[in-house]
Amino acid sequence: MKQSNAVRLVSTKNLSREEWLSVRGGGIGSSDAAVAVGISPYKSPLELWLEKTGRQEAPDLAANDAVFWGTTLEHIIATVYAERTGVKVRRLNAVLQHPEHPFMLANLDRVVQHPTDGNGILEVKTAGVNSARFWEEGVPDSYQCQVLHQLAVTSKEWCDVAVLIGGQDFRVYRVVRDDDKIADLIQREAQFWQYVIDDMPPPVNGSESSGRALASMYPSDRGDVLDCSEDTGMNKLFSDYWAYRQQREGAEVQEELLKQQLQERLGFASGAVLSDARISWRKSKDATTTDFKRLGEEHPDWVKPYEIPKPGTRRFIVQVGK
């Protein structure tokens, strides 16, 4: 049975950044969906959990060039979409809430009024030339997750994703509602939100984002040493870690050897064309640098006014054997 319409939680007109962050902090927005379920290439569930529990402020991306141009071009892309498809689009200016799962929120780019397909959603994206390959097979997974989240909240049947790639390649992809995928998404988002409710961190996932989150959670140590000699779980973790580390280091040595053998074959040549690749070994331009260590030793008074305090970080060190 299809759910009832979404709840209009709050109007976004004249909403300050602080108010907007407060609303977003109360649930999972569509741009959070891929992060919450662990498929975002940029942020981990653990880092999102820090933000949703108020332990870490969400980054202000207003100064980010990609975000700036995406926001600036949104109206233009939406207008081009309407002109080329012949449908009407309009702003909603509201944060919507799932009627049965209140932690699921959505702020739509546009609502589409289609003469034959019924009302749907328009999601507007911009992508650089280097990201074009991610769109060759359709909408990338993380954006599909975002769209399914919106369809879940609104109960709409479809969403058109209009993307401008490299400033001139305009494409439109349609994502149709899939109730099985939406049910799975809701279950996984609910699992993440339970971590927020319980104030318990989700598991780490090995990403750089997850590492940043750990560094933020545990910025310093107490000085004590745990006795885990009888802890089978801890010892198994270390054993697996050490095995992978040795395997990686062996692979790095082999990679370096093969690279040197290629360089040896090149000799003084700038590069080579192979059957399915091209390699080069070119000298960069000569440059100069400043010996700040010597400058500080000989003229400490010159350097002192420009020193910037740098907080220490924790280092993970392994010593094998006792």
Q: What pLDDT, on a 0 to 100 scale, did the predictor assign at position 4? A: 64
Sequence-separated (6 or more) residues with CB below 8 Å from residue 112: 87, 88, 89, 119, 120, 121, 122, 160
Question: Does residue 14 register a pLDDT over 80?
Answer: no
Residue 58 half-sphere exposure, CB side, CA atoms within 13 Å?
19
* Pair 61, 164 in one domain: yes
Residue 111 lies in a domain: yes
* Pair 48, 135 in one domain: yes
* Pair 162, 203 in one domain: yes
- Quote the CA–CA distance of 227 and 235 in Å, as a whole number: 11
pLDDT category at 3 given cuts 50, 70, 90 is low
* Pair 62, 190 in one domain: yes
pLDDT category at 1 given cuts 50, 70, 90 is very low
Enumerate the β-bridge partners of residue 120. 112
Residue 282 half-sphere exposure, CB side, CA atoms within 13 Å?
8
Residues of the domain holding 55: 7-213
Q: What pLDDT, on a 0 to 100 scale, did the predictor assign at position 185? A: 97
Residue 238 lies in a domain: yes
Choose one of 185, 213, 241: the last residue of a domain: 213
Helix (H, G, I), strand (E, B) or coil at 20: helix
* Pair 63, 187 in one domain: yes
- Phi and psi (nearest 5°) for 82? -65, -40
Residue 313 lies in a domain: no
Residue 225 lies in a domain: no
* Pair 18, 78 in one domain: yes
* DSSP β-ladder status, 158-165 and 118-127: parallel
* Pair 108, 46 in one domain: yes
Question: Does residue 54 register a pLDDT over 90?
Answer: yes
The CATH number given to whatever domain includes residue 190 is 3.90.320.10
**Quick one: average pLDDT of 50-57?**
93
Q: What pLDDT, on a 0 to 100 scale, did the predictor assign at position 67? A: 85
Question: Does residue 111 register a pLDDT over 90?
Answer: yes
**Quick one: average pLDDT of 176-205?**
96
pLDDT category at 2 given cuts 50, 70, 90 is low
* Pair 191, 295 in one domain: no
* Pair 287, 183 in one domain: no
For the chain, the average pLDDT equals 91
* Pair 243, 149 in one domain: no
* Pair 243, 131 in one domain: no
pLDDT in tens, 131-163: 899 999 999 999 999 999 999 999 999 999 999
Residue 320 lies in a domain: no
Query: Angle at Cα 101 formed by Cα 97 and Cα 107, nearest 5°?
Result: 25
**Quick one: average pLDDT of 237-255?**
95
**Domain total in the chain:** 2
Q: What pLDDT, on a 0 to 100 scale, did the predictor assign at position 249? A: 94
Contact 272, 279 (CB under 8 A): yes
* Pair 250, 189 in one domain: no
Structure tokens of 105? 């929120």
pTM of the model: 0.82
Contact 163, 171 (CB under 8 A): yes
Q: What is the DSSP string of 118-133?
A: EEEEEEEEEE-GGGGG
